Amino acid sequence: MLVSMTAVVSPDLAPHRWSALVWLACAVFLAMSPWFSAAAVLPHFRAVWMLTDSAAAWLTLAVQLGFVLEAVLSASLNLADRVMPRRLILIGALLAAAAYLGLLIADSAFTAMILRALTGEALAWVYPPALKAMSAWFRTGRGVALGVMVGALTLGSALPHLVNGLGGANWRVVIVTTSLLAAVGGLIAASVRDGPYQVPAAAFRPAQAWRLLTDGKMVHVTLGYLGHMWELYALWAWFSVFFAQVLSGRGLPEPARGAAFATFAVIGVGALGCYVGGVLGDRWGRARLTVLAMGVSGGCALILAGLLWIGASPFVVLAVSLVWGFWIIADSAQFSTLASELTDPAYVGTALTAQLALGFSLTAGSIALVPVLVTAWGWSGAFTVLALGPFVGAVAMRPLIRMNRKTNNSSRRL
């Protein structure tokens, strides 16, 4: 086994927790690679099938929808709490690798969409169980731990744009390599032992997911998370198209390549944001951090809308976008951390899976809505609408800050 446990466990500090974090973060990064590496092969399929921007977006949406479908089913079955997380991660990673490998023989956009949906379904057995597995290793510092894991995935989401900026890679090589890496990720996760705070398998309760997300403080966390997700994936999915148009409007050479590098930077800087968000969440309180992050990210969206209105320089637009990219993801892991701390320990996996299902359901809508808004009102109008999400989310989280003050919660979990 890659991680071993000692017989005595401190109430707050589990031995080998940091090595477990490293191995699990690497495992999830590799296992989730069929999701984000699709950005590196999408240009090939767009050229072969002559896809429009909207049609290409559906290849991204297919993954989201597949993930949501399986996450809802898994949450209803309490799967992440009734099956050992490392087993689920292994099975999910292998299934995702197989579905992604199927793109080698896809003969139409429809077939590719089905395969991408199947990939998303398989990855619903990877991401939520991995968050639960990590929460079983950390009590103190859990915000940083989950922040590191989400940061690794954020960096993974950025890397394909760097590949495209450098001239791309052979699409067949990308698919085969990614599938192998996903399988390796599953094997690594299966080799990491369960954390010392792992609880026994839960009883089957189909309605538990809804109860968890709508009970007490979790109502605020759920609404805050939805506000956060409203803008996150819409920015990630459309920034390259947006910035290519900004560069083209100024007559700059190779706008597609420049946009690829810019997108890598805007998404990639979020990896640092996840770590900083984890540190601040553990120190300040998670609700306070999420309100700050959503306030800044929503403000950046409105600033960009104004900059586009006055025709600002692409360099100014990029500078604001980098700030946006940092803060738009800084709070993401803190919502998962709150779900793991505020819900019944026996059903943490169910809560995390249900939370992610709701969030990714919303991302499918916002991703599909962006081109409609751009056609009607331009990018300024689209960014203004995206800013509504984080502002609503911040309002939803503020009562938790007041609860913290009233109870004088020294652990600052909220």
Question: What are the residues whose beta carbons fall under 8 Å from the beta carbon of 232, sequence distance 6 or more?
Answer: 328, 329, 332, 363
Tell me the sheet residues that pair with 138. Answer: 13
Per-residue pLDDT, 42: 82
Helix (H, G, I), strand (E, B) or coil at 290: helix
Question: Distance (Å, rounded) from C-alpha 78 to C-alpha 82?
Answer: 6
Q: Average pLDDT of 400-407? A: 75
Most confident of 73-77, 172-176, 185-189: 185-189
Per-residue pLDDT band at 9 (split at 50, 70, 90): very low
Look at residue 326 and tell me whether its pLDDT is greater than 90.
Answer: yes
Question: Distance (Å, rounded) from C-alpha 76 to C-alpha 66?
Answer: 16
CA 115, 151, 184, 69 torsion: positive or negative? negative
The average confidence (pLDDT) of the chain is: 89
Look at residue 406 and tell me whether its pLDDT is greater than 70.
Answer: no
What pTM does this model have? 0.89
Question: Distance (Å, rounded) from C-alpha 216 to C-alpha 233?
Answer: 28
Tell me if 147 sits within 8 A of 89, measured CB to CB: no
Per-residue pLDDT band at 407 (split at 50, 70, 90): low
Q: Amino acid letter at 236? A: W
Q: Which whole-number Å values give the CA distances from 217 to 263, 314, 403, in the listed order?
A: 36, 42, 9
Question: Distance (Å, rounded) from C-alpha 35 to C-alpha 233?
Answer: 13
* Structural domains of the chain sorted by starting position, each given as residue range(s) with its CATH number in brackets: 17-407 (1.20.1250.20)
Per-residue pLDDT of 244-277, as tens digits, reads 999 998 878 888 899 999 999 999 999 999 999 9
Locate tokens 């609404």: which residue? 223
Per-residue pLDDT, 166: 82
CA 30, 34, 38, 44 torsion: positive or negative? positive
Per-residue pLDDT of 200-212, as tens digits, reads 777 777 778 778 8
Q: Amino acid letter at 228? A: H
Per-residue pLDDT band at 23 (split at 50, 70, 90): very high
Tell me if 28 sits within 8 A of 126, measured CB to CB: yes
Residue scoring higher pLDDT (47 or 382)? 382
End-to-end CA gap in the chain: 35
Task: Tell me the two tokens of residue 32.
Answer: 């989730």
Determine the Cα angle at 34 with ends 360 and 3, to 5°: 95
Per-residue pLDDT, 413: 56
Least confident of 63-72, 294-303, 405-414: 405-414
Per-residue pLDDT, 11: 52
Nearest to 27 by CA among 90, 117, 121, 79: 90
Question: Distance (Å, rounded) from C-alpha 125 to C-alpha 37?
Answer: 18
Q: Where are the alpha helices (DSSP H) in 138-195?
A: 142-165, 171-191
Question: Distance (Å, rounded) from C-alpha 97 to C-alpha 177?
Answer: 10
Q: Average pLDDT of 12-35? A: 87
Per-residue pLDDT of 269-319, as tens digits, reads 999 999 999 999 999 899 999 999 999 999 999 999 999 989 899 999 999
